[in-house]
Amino acid sequence: MIRERYINFLIGALLLIVPLVALQMDEPFIITLATKAAILALAGVGLNLALGQGGLVSFGHAAYFGIGGYAMGILASHAQDYAPLMEVPFVIEGTNLMPVIWLVAIVASALAALLIGALSLRTSGVYFIMVTLAFGQMFYYFAISWPAYGGEDGLSIYVRNQFPGVNTLDPIQFFGICFVVLMAVLFLVNRLNKSPFGLALNGAHQNEERALTVGINVYRLRLVAFVISGAITGLAGALFADLNRFVSPTMFSWHTSGEIMVFIILGGVARLFGPVAGAAVYILLEHMLGGISEYWQIYLGLILLFVVLFAKGGIVGGLARREVRHDG
């Protein structure tokens, strides 16, 4: 465990140092890549709580990522058009303040996770995978066929939203926001994993019968974990939308769910910094392989296949050399 702590520190430090060096070398594109990695890592940290810690293989986390994105898109588009979101029974204005947007994104995606989780957790195993995938897809089709906020074309926001005291249009300052949010969430998730709640969740993952026997309400425990997990991924969605200043149904697509899952397997399942390493490597691969070939996803597929078949444990697992069981 001590060794893993050093590795975690190293991963976090690298993620911070790379954009700072890029700033010195005047390479804003690299800062944007690092920002993207930090945001996608946050989405992975959310999923890792359900998948790694709780053993809940959700293939529908794009739903929360997309809801977070649309929370930002809808609020900011109303602020940009000076049109209130709602007039009856009371007026709700749009906003371009990040903290407010984040709060709405977290609450909305938590509610969606509560609803989907309450239904999906009635099943387990392969059913759970298919059901979460299907519910995720439901949001995708809804976003496409609902014309009010751009439908299939998505929604552009012209100016990045504001954070008090920070110039969010400056790439390095926006990276700073995302990095701090990521570290804060990692800190909280680490506390959560070590709390009685996290231990019970992990226990129920390893042996459900035993957890039930000692009087743990496994369904409720998992539902709470699922909701927290969805809320974190939703927050990442709001940041991702702000990075691109654009939301579209792509955020809901099942490829997005698959990618979030890929970050975790690349980095190491149930490892605290696994998704951070995984997302960073994914962005790096996308950037490098994309330069070599238009068909870079073939190579991504082959690498993923190799990691799943022969290199279980991912990057953090390989470096820390200690097997963490999942879905036993």
Applying CB under 8 A, which residues contact another protein? 51, 57, 59, 119-120, 122-123, 125-127, 129-131, 133-135, 137-138, 140-142, 144-147, 152, 249-250, 253-256, 258-259, 261-262, 265, 269, 295-298, 300-302, 304-305, 308-309, 312, 326-328
How near is the Cβ of 64 to another protein at its closest, in Å?
A: 16
Q: Which CB atom, from 43 or from 79, has the smaller least distance to another protein?
A: 43
Instruction: Supply 203's token pair.
Output: 């226990």
**Residue 268 CB partners (closer than 8 Å, separation 6+):** 274, 277, 278, 313, 314, 315, 316, 317, 318, 320, 324
Q: Which CB atom, from 136 or from 176, has the smaller least distance to another protein?
A: 136
Region of 246 on the Ramachandran plot (φ > 0 left; ψ -120 to 50 alpha; else beta): beta
Q: Which CB atom, from 61 or from 96, has the smaller least distance to another protein?
A: 61
Strand partners, 162: 97
Question: Is the preceding peptide bond at 89 cis, omega within 30 degrees of 0?
Answer: yes
Region of 151 on the Ramachandran plot (φ > 0 left; ψ -120 to 50 alpha; else beta): left
What one-character-per-residue DSSP string does 206-247 give? H-HHHHHHTT--HHHHHHHHHHHHHHHHHHHHHHHHHHHTEE
How near is the Cβ of 295 to another protein at its closest, in Å?
A: 5
How near is the Cβ of 101 to another protein at its closest, in Å?
A: 22
Region of 150 on the Ramachandran plot (φ > 0 left; ψ -120 to 50 alpha; else beta): left
How near is the Cβ of 218 to another protein at its closest, in Å?
A: 15
Q: Which CB atom, from 95 or from 120, has the smaller least distance to another protein?
A: 120
How near is the Cβ of 265 to another protein at its closest, in Å?
A: 5
Q: Which CB atom, from 63 or from 178, has the smaller least distance to another protein?
A: 63
How near is the Cβ of 54 to another protein at its closest, in Å?
A: 12
**Residue 122 CB partners (closer than 8 Å, separation 6+):** none
How near is the Cβ of 16 to another protein at its closest, in Å?
A: 25
What is d(CA 253, CA 198) in angstroms, rounded to the nearest whole number?
Answer: 30
**Residue 210 CB partners (closer than 8 Å, separation 6+):** 203
Collapsing DSSP to helix, strand or coil, 250 comes out as: helix
Q: Which CB atom, from 99 or from 318, has the smaller least distance to another protein?
A: 318
Q: Which CB atom, from 95 or from 256, has the smaller least distance to another protein?
A: 256
